[in-house]
Structure 1
Amino acid sequence: MLSTATAIAPPSLDTLLDGFTARPAAPGLDAALETLMRSLCGSHYDALPLPGQGRTLQRWQTLARVAGCDLGLAKLYEGHTDALAILAECAPTSFAREGIWGVWASEPPDARARIVARDGDQVRLGGRKAWCSGALQIDRALITAWDGDDRPQLVAIDLKHSTQRVTTQGWQAVGMASTASIEIDFDHSPGIAIGAPGQYLDRPGFWQGGGGIAACWYGAAEALARYLREHCRKPQADAHAQAHLGAADMALQGARLALHDCARWIDRHPAANAELPVRRTRAVVEAAAGDVIRHVGRALGATPFCRSGHFARLSADLPVYLRQSHAERDLAALGQHLAGTVSEDWSL
Structure 2
Amino acid sequence: MQPPSGPQPVRISSAPGRLEATVPLLESVRDAVGDVPALLALARSVGRTAPRPGDGDTAHLWELLASVTAVDVAAGRVLEPHLDAVAILAQAGAIAREGSGTARAATGVVPAAVPEAADGAWGVFAAEGPGLRLEASPDGAGGYVLDGSKPWCSLAAQLDGAVLTAHLAGGNSGDAGTGARAAFAVKLRDPGVSCETPQWSSRGLREIPSGTVHFEGVRAVPVGGPGWYFERPGFAWGGMGVAACWLGGAVAVARDFGSALAKAAEGGREPDQVALAHLGETDRIIAALTGYLARTAARIDAGDLSGSGAWSEALRVRGAVAAAVERIQAMVAQNLGPGPLAFNEPYGKRMADLSLYIRQHHAMRDDAQLGALTLKGDRSW
TM-score (ref. length: structure 2): 0.80
Q: Which moved more, 1:271-280 or 1:167-176?
A: 167-176
Amino acid at match of 2:363: A
* Of 242, 245, 250, the match for 1:213: 242
Report how far residue 49 of structure 1 moved: 1.3
Q: Summarize the alignment of residues 161-172 of structure 1 with structure 2, pairs less than 5 Å apart.
A: 161-172=190-201
Q: Deviations over 1:132-179 (max 9, x none)?
A: 012132211010011122111111111111111111135432211211
SS at match of 1:178: coil
Give 1:38's aligned residue.
Answer: 41
Whether the 8 Å contact between 2:44 and 2:82 is mirrored in structure 1 is no
Amino acid at match of 1:136: A
Residues 100 and 13 of structure 1, relative CA distance in 2, 3 Å threshold: farther
Residues 39 and 73 of structure 1, relative CA distance in 2, 3 Å threshold: same
* Of 130, 140, 146, the match for 1:119: 140
1:151 and 2:180 matched: yes
* Of 63, 69, 72, the match for 1:70: 72
Q: Which moved more, 1:249-258 or 1:130-139?
A: 249-258
Whether the 8 Å contact between 1:130 and 1:182 is mirrored in structure 2 is yes
* Of 57, 60, 67, the match for 2:59: 57
Q: Which moved more, 1:199-208 or 1:33-42?
A: 33-42
Count matched residues.
327
Amino acid at match of 1:37: L
1:328 and 2:364 matched: yes
- Structure 1: runs of 5+ lacking an equivalent: 1-11, 25-29
* Of 80, 83, 98, the match for 2:82: 80
Amino acid at match of 1:64: A
Give 1:191's aligned residue.
Answer: 220
TM-score (ref. length: structure 1): 0.88
1:182 and 2:211 matched: yes
SS at match of 1:237: coil
Give 1:337's aligned residue.
Answer: 373
1:267 and 2:310 matched: no
Q: Deviations over 1:202-226 (max 9, x none)?
A: 1111111111011000000000100
Whether the 8 Å contact between 2:203 and 2:349 is mirrored in structure 1 is no
Amino acid at match of 1:101: W
Residues 22 and 237 of structure 1, relative CA distance in 2, 3 Å threshold: farther
Give 1:9's aligned residue.
Answer: none
Q: Deviations over 1:296-333 (max 9, x none)?
A: 11111223223333212110111111011111110001
Q: Distance in 2 between matches of 1:54 and 1:20?
A: 26
Q: Distance in 1 between matches of 2:234 and 2:271?
A: 46
* Of 342, 359, 373, the match for 1:306: 342
Whether the 8 Å contact between 1:46 and 1:77 is mirrored in structure 2 is no
SS at match of 1:126: strand
Give 1:138's aligned residue.
Answer: 159
* Of 225, 244, 250, the match for 2:284: 250
Whether the 8 Å contact between 1:231 and 1:237 is mirrored in structure 2 is no
Give 1:3's aligned residue.
Answer: none
Q: Distance in 2 between matches of 1:220 and 1:62?
A: 12
Whether the 8 Å contact between 1:248 and 1:292 is mirrored in structure 2 is yes
Q: Deviations over 1:217-255 (max 9, x none)?
A: 000000010011112224223213222212222322232
Q: Distance in 2 between matches of 1:121 and 1:262?
A: 38
Report how far residue 71 of structure 1 moved: 1.8
Report how far residue 63 of structure 1 moved: 0.5
Q: Deviations over 1:67-117 (max 9, x none)?
A: 111122111210000000000001356533220110010122322210134
Q: Distance in 1 between matches of 2:244 and 2:332?
A: 19
Report how far residue 22 of structure 1 moved: 6.2
Q: Distance in 1 between matches of 2:205 and 2:48?
A: 21
Aligned identity (percent) is 31
Whether the 8 Å contact between 2:80 and 2:242 is mirrored in structure 1 is yes
Q: Distance in 2 between matches of 1:316 and 1:57?
A: 27
Residues 121 and 64 of structure 1, relative CA distance in 2, 3 Å threshold: farther
* Of 183, 189, 192, the match for 1:160: 189
Whether the 8 Å contact between 1:139 and 1:158 is mirrored in structure 2 is yes
CA RMSD of aligned residues (A): 2.0
Q: Distance in 2 between matches of 1:114 and 1:23?
A: 37
SS at match of 2:156: coil
1:106 and 2:127 matched: yes
Report how far residue 39 of structure 1 moved: 3.4
SS at match of 1:177: coil
Q: Summarize the alignment of residues 2-17 of structure 1 with structure 2, pairs less than 5 Å apart.
A: 13-17=22-26
Report how far residue 23 of structure 1 moved: 7.3
Amino acid at match of 2:26: L
